[in-house]
Amino acid sequence: MAFNSGKPYGGIETTNGRLIGATDTDYFYFFCPKCPDKEIMRILEYGEHERTETNKYDATCKSKTKYGFTLAFKLHCEKCGLTDFVKVSNIGRQGGKYSDFLGKS
Ligand SMILES: [Zn+2]
């Protein structure tokens, strides 16, 4: 089945540094950007947003990848009902100081 039932998706509340998270063991949790006290969000589904044979960062980074990818996650907060999206990618930014990029994409 297509991610998000084939409907368009994109983060709204998750943008501009509002979505943060953390690990407990080696699992990563996303915290609701609307609720206080780091309410953990459910991940309703994930999908492959993009996959590339090569990775442009391999030309300039010391480390090498097997391929390029962007995964999309559909997040939901049981407490406030917020549903939103976030992407994780190895063809987006791969280094540098976060503060240098925030709000400049
Ligand atoms: Zn919430």
Residue 49 and residue 6: Cα distance in Å, rounded? 11
* Average pLDDT over every residue of 77-93: 96
CA of 4 to the centre of ligand 1 (A): 20
- In the numeric block, the tokens 């280094």 are attached to 95
CA 21, 23, 28, 29 torsion: positive or negative?
Answer: negative
What would the pLDDT profile of 44-77 be if each residue is shown by its tens digit? 999 999 999 999 999 999 999 999 999 999 999 9
- Note the pLDDT of residue 1: 81
Residue 27 Cα to ligand 1 midpoint, Å, equals 20
DSSP 40: B
Ligand 1: distance of its center to the CA of 96 in Å?
30
> What's the CA-to-centroid distance between 19 and ligand 1, angstroms?
11
Q: How far is the CA of 41 from the centre of ligand 1 (A)?
A: 7
- Compute the distance between CA of residue 75 and CA of residue 84 in angstroms, rounded to an integer: 5
